[in-house]
Amino acid sequence: MARWGGIVGATGLYLQSFPIFLLGSLLTGLYMSAQGFYRFAAADTASPEFRPKAISYVMAGGLVSALIGPQLVKLTANAYVIPFFGTYATVIAVNLLGSLLFLFLDIPRPPAPAPGSDYGRTRWQLLTTPRIAVAVICGMVSYALMNLVMTSTPLAVVGCGYETSDAANVVSAHVLAMFAPSFFTGQIINRFGVEKVMGLGLFILAGAGGVAMSGVELENFFLALVLLGIGWNFGFIGATTMLAGAHTSEERGRMQGLNDLLVFGGVTFASLASGGLMNCSGGTPQQGWSAVVMAMAPFLVLAGGALIWLVLRPDEQPAE
């Protein structure tokens, strides 16, 4: 699907057709909605002890993308007369090469359920299971708040008088902070427990908000966005680990799909809200930035309260 998105997008650029270009973006988005399940695929085939590490290592691939992606754009954006045509051609080539990796992938196919067999809990029963509900809430809050603040950051940095290159550097530092901890997040979860790591992630997200509110110096933007990336990493990987251990193999498909619908639905809403808060909350970029950051508070209270409630339930145990 990703290569078809690249092909259609390149065609739109070549024909100077914006609708065709949008169709290519739609196909790419469909691929992105599916590639998020790679982390679950790793978790489903790993032992309970190795599961947090498996999820972390998959997420660490984002660090490689963060380093290589911008460099590929720099090299290919003006390689042809049509701007960015070379970039889309590179997308096609990279995805063709990436598809070859599946030749080396060995994931056992689950057996087909026998007639009359137990299909597990319904979606509503799954969502009302305390451990699953808290995992979904924390995953939604971690990802949505990260996206809320990150989306507004370039506008805020430039609006506060800094250069576009400064905004790019702040976002680059943020992306590195998002994925670099993945190499050891799994080990931390195994050692201290998933609930503590999720709690730490929410605490760090709150710290990012505090730094952002304390001033609009360039150092504030850098530190806030680095903390935002680390907090997202601990919160989201922790939530994914908790969810992966809270449902059975029969419930796997519908629970994982429902989780990502809710998580990325929240991300979509956060992206839309981010621009509105920046542009409609005050007369200056500083006021808009403050509104974005303050919007984090109620959701952090919600996720933190849900996590504390779960921890105080001594009878709640993860599913095997």
In a domain, 112, yes or no: no
pLDDT value of position 111: 66
In a domain, 270, yes or no: yes
| Residue 73: band (very low, low, confident or very high) from pLDDT cuts 50, 70, 90 | confident
pLDDT value of position 311: 93
Q: How far apart are alpha carbons 111 and 123 in whole angstroms? A: 21
Of 106 and 140, the one with more pLDDT: 140
Q: Domain check: are 173 and 134 in the same one?
A: yes
Q: In this structure, what token pair is assigned to residue 16?
A: 């100077």
Q: How far apart are alpha carbons 223 and 229 in whole angstroms? A: 10
Q: Domain check: are 48 and 16 in the same one?
A: yes
pLDDT value of position 203: 97
Of residues 41, 48, 158, the one with CA closest to residue 109: 41
Judged against a pLDDT cut of 60, whether residue 319 lies above it is answered with no
Q: Domain check: are 139 and 222 in the same one?
A: yes
In a domain, 40, yes or no: yes
Q: Domain check: are 177 and 267 in the same one?
A: yes
Which whole-number Å values give the CA distances from 228 to 176, 221, 280, in the listed order? 11, 10, 23
Contacts of residue 110, Cβ cutoff 8 Å, sequence gap at least 6: 249, 252
pLDDT value of position 117: 65
pLDDT value of position 74: 76
Q: Domain check: are 68 and 145 in the same one?
A: no
Q: b vs e for 14-50, b when ≥16 Cβ sit within 10 Å of the residue's Cβ?
A: eeeeeebbebbeebbeeeeeeeeeebbebbbebeeee
pLDDT value of position 304: 96
Q: Domain check: are 226 and 258 in the same one?
A: yes
Judged against a pLDDT cut of 50, whether residue 320 lies above it is answered with no
Judged against a pLDDT cut of 80, whether residue 220 lies above it is answered with yes
Which whole-number Å values give the CA distances from 123 to 127, 194, 250, in the listed order? 6, 23, 12
Tell me how many degrees the CA angle 59-65-66 measures, rounded to the nearest 5.
100
Judged against a pLDDT cut of 80, whether residue 181 lies above it is answered with yes
Contacts of residue 170, Cβ cutoff 8 Å, sequence gap at least 6: 153, 154, 157, 218, 221, 222, 225
Mean pLDDT of the chain: 85
Q: Domain check: are 48 and 196 in the same one?
A: no
* 1-47 pLDDT tens trace: 667 788 888 899 889 898 998 898 888 877 777 776 677 777 777 77
Provide the residue type at 273 as one letter. Answer: A
| Residue 247: band (very low, low, confident or very high) from pLDDT cuts 50, 70, 90 | confident
Q: Domain check: are 131 and 52 in the same one?
A: no
In a domain, 111, yes or no: no
Name the residue range of residue 228's domain: 123-311
Q: Domain check: are 169 and 286 in the same one?
A: yes
Q: Domain check: are 137 and 63 in the same one?
A: no
In a domain, 318, yes or no: no
Q: How many CB atoms lie within 10 A of CB 276?
A: 12
Judged against a pLDDT cut of 90, whether residue 306 lies above it is answered with yes
Q: In this structure, what token pair is assigned to residue 187?
A: 């080990």
Task: Name the residue with tokens 């914006």.
Answer: 18
In a domain, 115, yes or no: no
Domain count, the chain: 2
Mean pLDDT value across residues 204-220: 95
Q: Is 257 left (phi over 0), alpha (psi -120 to 50) or beta?
A: alpha
Rounded percentage of the chain residues whose pLDDT exceeds 90: 38
Mean pLDDT value across residues 303-316: 87
Mean pLDDT value across residues 247-265: 86
- In this structure, which long-range contacts are made by residues 49-52, counting pairs with CB atoms below 8 Å and at least 24 apart in sequence? 49/190, 51/241, 51/244, 51/245, 52/185, 52/186, 52/187, 52/189, 52/190, 52/194, 52/237, 52/241
pLDDT value of position 28: 83
pLDDT value of position 2: 64
Q: Domain check: are 149 and 255 in the same one?
A: yes
In a domain, 90, yes or no: yes
Q: What CATH number does the domain containing 152 carry? A: 1.20.1250.20
In a domain, 184, yes or no: yes
Judged against a pLDDT cut of 80, whether residue 261 lies above it is answered with yes
Judged against a pLDDT cut of 70, whether residue 112 lies above it is answered with no
pLDDT value of position 195: 94
pLDDT value of position 292: 93
Q: Domain check: are 22 and 171 in the same one?
A: no
Judged against a pLDDT cut of 60, whether residue 168 lies above it is answered with yes
